[in-house]
Amino acid sequence: MLLDPFEKIIANLPYGDGFKFVDHILEMDDNHVIGVYRFRESEYFYKHHFLHNPVTPGVILIECMAQIGLACLGTYLNKDEKESLNFVFTESHVVFNSIVKPGTAVIVSARKEYFRFGKLKCVVKMIDENEQKIAEGWVSGMIITSE
């Protein structure tokens, strides 16, 4: 079965199934990406955060934005590289406007601010499937090569 280029990027992300927060890429070019992830009720962190009223931890929401905005877009920008490259998340500034309950689908949009010397910075925004703003800010990361 042939994967489209976006599916291939997602399939090759360096995360296991329990820590991959990208289901689909809706669109992507050299300047932006839009991706989707549904936070399933079976996610491991809901059992303990918070008891009897689970919400998605903010750090996981930032990770989702970084995986779509840095890892996916960065891989796309480096599609001509021969060696295997990964993006590591280095810093962020994110403001939260809402919580994410189990079962919610989020849409992450990221716009490239700069990409040079192996460093990528993106302005990111996360909304839910009802277009309610969840978070916005920026994330940055850098390329590391896989040995």
The catalytic residues are: 49
Tokens of 98: 């809402």
- Residues 95, 88, 40, 24, CA torsion sign: positive
Q: Do the beta carbons of residue 84 and residue 71 sit within 8 Å?
A: no
Tell me the β-bridge partners of 142.
Answer: 88, 119
Residue entry with tokens 């059992």:
47
| CB contact set of 96 (below 8 Å; sequence gap of 6+) | 58, 61, 134, 135
φ and ψ at residue 18, rounded to 5 degrees:
-80, -5
19 half-sphere exposure, CB direction, 13 A CA radius: 7
